[in-house]
């Protein structure tokens, strides 16, 4: 029987990535980063789209070359359809549609957020169904009940800003370089998490809100700088630690509630913020206290990457879940 070989492409934001998967085994994960955004302190959509155009053919070529496969060996082409930046998605989707058409093979559209969750099936250990996944990134914060590889239900989500945005906004207010979230995490390890108190937003059910803490940090810094212009410089680590402590506490409160309500003890995290060392430490601590079995992906599969797109595509291929060449990107695609 012929192997199932899939080329996957990820271009939802500012990472251009390609990966090849063969019979469910990831052969590579090629990622090209975009440094052009650093001087702007955030992703500029137009610049991201142009960078994808520059990077896409080189990363696809490298993915095929390092896999040892040729284009004619491919069974399908997979691509992120959404959610993401519309221009960035369009670049990847246009290329994938053309490539699949030229080879006469199926096209598979992948939900970016589902792919983050399915990154847990790239390596062992793999969670058994059902489990709850806390998916956290710059654009999303969701609690997802995962019933099977392709059957997922969002049981809680942010009603305004994502937790990753709160990390990045805090970093920007502190004058830290982009990307700011990892810098906050690094400095937090050196600070006192109880040095300053920030409010915990209370939302109904399993939903989140992170707009309030962004405003609280803004006003806190404004008031402190009135009396001491060196306040941020003198207390940088403590500020980072205190903000990170508050954000993680908010995440864990709803996660604990979700596990109780659904009577599930298998817990996973996914998305770019799942690389945060403070979050990982707290999750493992709660696992020891509450008897959870915790699953945390490797760092390379936390941020945007094509390997997770390839894994999701593998399961869709097995179900014969293909799409037409007339599809368009969906910026706010839901699970």
Q: Where are the alpha helices (DSSP H) in the chain?
A: 45-67, 86-103, 112-118, 163-173, 180-188, 211-227, 231-262, 277-290, 306-318
Establish whether 139 is an annotated binding residue.
yes
Known binding residue 185? Answer is yes
Q: Determine whether the annotation assigns residue 84 to a binding site.
A: no
The response to whether 111 counts as a known ligand-binding position is: no
- Confidence (pLDDT) at 89: 98
Residue 302: C-alpha distances to residues 156, 162, 276, 306 (Å): 20, 16, 10, 11
Q: How confident is the model at residue 139 (pLDDT cuts 50, 70, 90)?
A: confident
- Residue 138, marked binder: yes
Please state, in angstroms and rounded to a whole number, the distance separating the CA atoms of residues 64 and 325: 22
For the ranges 38-47, 69-78, 166-175, 221-230, which has the lowest average pLDDT? 38-47
What is the reported pTM?
0.95
d(CA 200, CA 211): 11
- 168 annotated to bind ligand: yes
- 289: its two tokens: 């206290």
Residue 74 CA to residue 310 CA, distance in Å, equals: 12
Residue 137 annotated as binding? yes
- Reported as a pLDDT band with limits 50, 70 and 90, residue 149 is very high
Helix or strand run (H / E) with residue 132: strand 131-136
pLDDT band (50, 70, 90) for residue 145 = very high
CA angle 301, 7, 88 (to 5 degrees): 70
User: Domain-by-domain residue ranges, the chain?
Assistant: 5-117+304-318, 127-297
Residue 194 backbone dihedrals phi, psi, to 5 degrees: -105, 10
Q: 135, 111 in Cβ contact below 8 A? A: no
Answer yes or no: same fold for 5-117+304-318 and 127-297. yes
Residue pair 13/43 in contact (Cβ under 8 Å)? The answer is yes
d(Cα 5, Cα 21) in Å, to the nearest integer?
6
Rounded Cα–Cα distance for residues 114 and 309 (Å)? 9
Task: Tell me the pLDDT tens digit for each residue of 237-295.
Answer: 999 999 999 999 999 999 999 999 999 999 999 999 999 999 999 999 999 999 999 99
181 carries a ligand binding annotation = yes
Render pLDDT for 9-55 as a digit per residue (tens, 0 to 9).
999 999 999 999 999 999 999 999 887 777 777 788 899 999 999 99
Long-range CB pairs of 61-65, under 8 A, 24+ apart, other chains included: 62/18, 62/28, 62/30, 63/7, 63/18, 63/19, 63/20, 63/28, 63/30, 63/306, 64/7, 64/20
CATH topology of domain 5-117+304-318: Nucleotidyltransferase; domain 5 (3.30.420)
**pLDDT at residue 103 greater than cutoff 70:** yes
Q: Which fold has domain 127-297?
A: Nucleotidyltransferase; domain 5 (3.30.420)
The predicted pLDDT at position 102 comes to 98
Q: Tell whether the model's pLDDT for residue 1 goes beyond 90.
A: no
């Amino acid at each position: 029987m012929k192997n199932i070989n899939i080329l996957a492409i990820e271009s939802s934001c500012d990472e251009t990535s390609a990966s090849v998967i063969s019979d469910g085994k990831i052969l590579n994960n090629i990622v090209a980063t975009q440094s052009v955004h650093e001087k702007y302190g955030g992703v500029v959509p137009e610049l991201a789209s142009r960078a994808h155009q520059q990077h896409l053919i080189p990363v696809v070529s490298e993915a095929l070359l390092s896999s040892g496969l040729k284009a004619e060996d491919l069974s399908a082409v997979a691509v992120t359809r959404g959610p993401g930046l519309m221009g960035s998605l369009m670049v990847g989707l246009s290329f994938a549609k053309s490539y699949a058409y030229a080879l006469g093979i199926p096209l598979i559209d992948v939900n970016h957020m589902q792919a983050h969750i399915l990154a847990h099936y790239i390596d062992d250990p793999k969670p058994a169904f059902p489990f709850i996944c806390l998916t956290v990134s710059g654009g999303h914060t969701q609690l997802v009940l995962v019933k099977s590889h392709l059957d997922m239900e969002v049981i809680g989500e942010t009603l305004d800003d994502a937790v990753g945005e709160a990390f990045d906004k805090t970093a920007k207010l502190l004058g830290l370089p982009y990307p700011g979230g990892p810098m906050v995490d690094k400095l937090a390890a050196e600070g006192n998490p109880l040095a300053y108190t920030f409010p915990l937003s209370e939302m109904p059910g399993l939903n989140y809100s992170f707009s309030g803490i962004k405003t609280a940090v803004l006003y806190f810094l404004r008031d402190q700088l009135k009396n001491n212009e060196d306040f941020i410089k003198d207390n940088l680590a403590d500020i980072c630690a205190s903000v990170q402590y508050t954000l993680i506490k908010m995440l864990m409160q709803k996660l604990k509630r979700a596990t109780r309500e659904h009577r599930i003890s298998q817990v996973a995290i996914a998305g770019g913020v799942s690389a945060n060392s403070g979050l990982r430490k707290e999750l493992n601590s709660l696992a020891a206290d509450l008897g959870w079995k915790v699953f945390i992906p490797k760092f390379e599969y936390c941020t945007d990457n094509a390997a997770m797109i390839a894994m999701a595509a593998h399961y869709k291929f097995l179900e014969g879940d293909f799409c037409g060449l007339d599809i368009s990107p969906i910026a706010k695609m839901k699970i």
